[in-house]
Amino acid sequence: MTEFQKMILEGIPAQLPASKPYDKEINHAPNRKKILNKEEKKLALRNALRYFDSKHHVELIPEFVSELETYGRIYMYRLRPDYKMMAHPISEYPGKSEQAKAIMLMIQNNLNYAVAQHPHELITYGGNGAVFQNWAQYRLTMKYLAEMTNDQTLVMYSGHPMGLYPSHKDAPRVVVTNGMVIPNYSKPDDWEKFNALGVSQYGQMTAGSYMYIGPQGIVHGTTITVLNAGRKISEHGEGLEGKLFITAGLGGMSGAQPKAANIAGCVSVTGEINPKAAHTRHSQGWVDEMIDNLDELMVRVRIAKANKEVISIAYLGNIVDVWERFAEDDIKVDIGSDQTSLHNPWAGGYYPVGVEFEEANEMMANNIELFKEKIQESLRRHVAAINKCVDKFDTYFFDYGNAFLLESSRAGADIMKEDGKFKYPSYVQDIMGPMCFDYGFGPFRWVCASGKPEDLAATDRIATEVLEEIRKNSPVEIQQQMGDNIKWIKGAQENKLVVGSQARILYADAEGRMKIAEAFNNAIAEGKIGPVVLGRDHHDVSGTDSPFRETSNIYDGSSFTADMAIQNVIGDSFRGATWVSIHNGGGVGWGEVINGGFGMLLDGSADADRRLKSMLFWDVNNGISRRSWARNEEAVFAIKRAMEVDPNLKVTLPNFAEDTLIESAF
């Protein structure tokens, strides 16, 4: 047994490891709001100590109190393991279940220093998207997974491993819930309190469900979004050459934006206030140039636009300054958006203009009311500058699902139309909903559990062959989607998208997902590649109910309901998923969305073949059915096709009422 395997099986060690120094070279989460009163602090301490034998309590109490007082959370830094945090090949993990080993691999990938935004705080992306609340939970979970058999299921309560329970081989190996609090307790301060107490966490979408694959996970979706935004502003289909795209955020998922803009073929400027985040993306090759002076930025952008360069520029500073300067200097902004973590505006998701980064972090921890005032003032200026660009240049601006429009409206910005609706669309309303989700296309992804780049290259080839074959008989309505995806997968290797695990993402519909997965499983059975983990972003056709993002193009009044996401994860769990997850909160904020996801191990077996066909068909068509019932015509088309494929599928279809009859009724 290797030392790595021994350390995993050790779990929470009988002898405490030595305290670890605070590593200032790591990108740390900002200190959290001090929200607990004295009695609640005592409760948070009791909650943390229950992971440890009472003989250690005297030693741990001052340390945990110090963490709580300093950082606003008890992270248990001393329990951080000494081994390298990365997705090791599946063969290197201890265990009795290959499915459990695959989950260990995915957990470690989420916490890989090259992948995670704040790895020492167990936060993968979005400022607060956590895999676990503390390092004791991590150690105990990994031990349980290493001991698990295929007749057990591990139950996860917001990062806490409740335990292993008897089940059966077709049950999920892990069931995850994150942040599932009573609805009336889903305000931002509720999250701060429950998280500080150690009883709930914000799992984001793919952080607390172990399915994040680094910024590549959103590159493809962002590429599709920018490409189609370009198509919307193009009168003659001339493309994005020489067009300027302005946005913000280089932290977790937002770090994908410059790479996607390059693939789409435009000039992009991405504002980022955190130097460590910007330098990380630059060192990884995800952004081409960094500039910290606005005058230099204006000169560089003029040159890039004139020469029709494909170039991505990170501006080290506040995005509000960028928008205001472009409006002032009359440099045309063609497309604009924002991907700061505005779902988390009071805890580091968005930074106020005119305040230095470190000063803002200090204010956030010690003068939260002033910090909130500065944030809302910045949002008002941000929107005002965007409005100027829209008026001057006819800029196409869209909300990128980060709660930008929502938080701007709460700040009193000039973001509303007279009819009470937002001035600008969500990208799902305008692009992803009608062009992708309604047809069943969404972010399918896979990870080569062997860790071998040659396996990933082989899966790219297999997926390309499958899609090209499907395209031959695809209806005209989805030819553009098929073409975009084939172009994407063919260029995947040269675009160097891998950060962390050997992973790939591809927008595909149910037919594409099932046929690609079946081809992978056959290749595994034939010994051509190693095991493959399937998954998707929660941001998909069926996985998420979010009225200002994923379901923003649902107009029948049901966009504020969460039946789809709940039904999705229940259905996945008994149709063969290896693990399932359901979360309160995601890209748009705590209490604003319910989202679910899954993972599935392909091992070349007949069981895997059976499961993938059952689960993937449901996982997509659940959402198409709901979108069809909302009277989305593209979804009606898609679900009729699905019913032709499988006669066992019988979906209630909507009837359409004449507008004139409805109008005359009132």
Q: What is the pLDDT of residues 572-599, one digit of tens each?
A: 999 999 999 999 998 788 899 999 999 9
If asked whether residues 310 and 173 sit together in one domain, one would say no
Total structural domains within the chain: 3
Instruction: State the average pLDDT for the chain.
Output: 94
CA nearest neighbour of 65 among 38, 39, 37, 45: 45
Is residue 271 a known part of a binding site?
no
Question: What are 504-548's pLDDT values in tens digits?
Answer: 999 999 999 999 999 999 999 999 999 999 999 998 999 999 998
If asked whether residues 636 and 589 sit together in one domain, one would say yes
> Final residue of a domain: which of 424, 452, 484?
424
Is residue 483 a known part of a binding site?
no
If asked whether residues 37 and 61 sit together in one domain, one would say yes
If asked whether residues 356 and 444 sit together in one domain, one would say no
If asked whether residues 272 and 397 sit together in one domain, one would say yes
Is residue 272 a known part of a binding site?
yes
Specify the length of the chain in residues. Answer: 666
CATH value at residue 250: 3.40.50.10730
If asked whether residues 36 and 102 sit together in one domain, one would say yes
If asked whether residues 479 and 413 sit together in one domain, one would say no
If asked whether residues 288 and 265 sit together in one domain, one would say yes
Q: Which helix (H) or strand (E) holds 327?
A: helix 319-329
Is residue 400 a known part of a binding site?
yes
> Final residue of a domain: which of 364, 397, 424?
424
Q: What is the pLDDT of residue 237?
A: 59
AA letter at 584: N
Residue 132 DSSP label: -
Q: What is the pLDDT of residue 543?
A: 94
CA nearest neighbour of 168 among 152, 155, 148: 152
Tell me, yes or no, whether 499 lies in a domain. yes
Average pLDDT over residues 268-297: 93
Q: How far separated are the first and last CA of the chain, in Å rounded?
A: 75
Q: What is the pLDDT of residue 238?
A: 62
> Final residue of a domain: which of 357, 391, 424?
424
Tell me, yes or no, whether 210 lies in a domain. no
Provide the pLDDT confidence category of residue 22 given band limits of 50, 70 and 90.
very high
Q: What is the pLDDT of residue 235?
A: 64
Average pLDDT over residues 628-647: 96
Structural domain of 174: 3-197
Tell me, yes or no, whether 212 lies in a domain. no
Average pLDDT over residues 479-502: 87
Q: Which helix (H) or strand (E) holds 152?
A: strand 152-157
Is the separation of the CB atoms in 381 and 349 below 8 Å?
A: no
Q: What is the pLDDT of residue 187?
A: 87
Question: What are 82-120's pLDDT values in tens digits?
Answer: 999 999 999 999 999 999 999 999 999 999 998 999 999
Q: What are phi and psi of 331, to 5 degrees?
A: -100, 120
CA 242 and chain centroid, separation = 30
Is the separation of the CB atoms in 328 and 391 below 8 Å?
A: no
If asked whether residues 255 and 318 sit together in one domain, one would say yes
Is residue 433 a known part of a binding site?
no
Question: What are 224-239's pLDDT values in tens digits?
Answer: 899 889 988 876 556 7
Q: What is the pLDDT of residue 15?
A: 94
d(C-alpha 179, C-alpha 199), whole Å: 9
Say whether pLDDT at 262 is over 80.
Answer: yes
Tell me, yes or no, whether 463 lies in a domain. yes
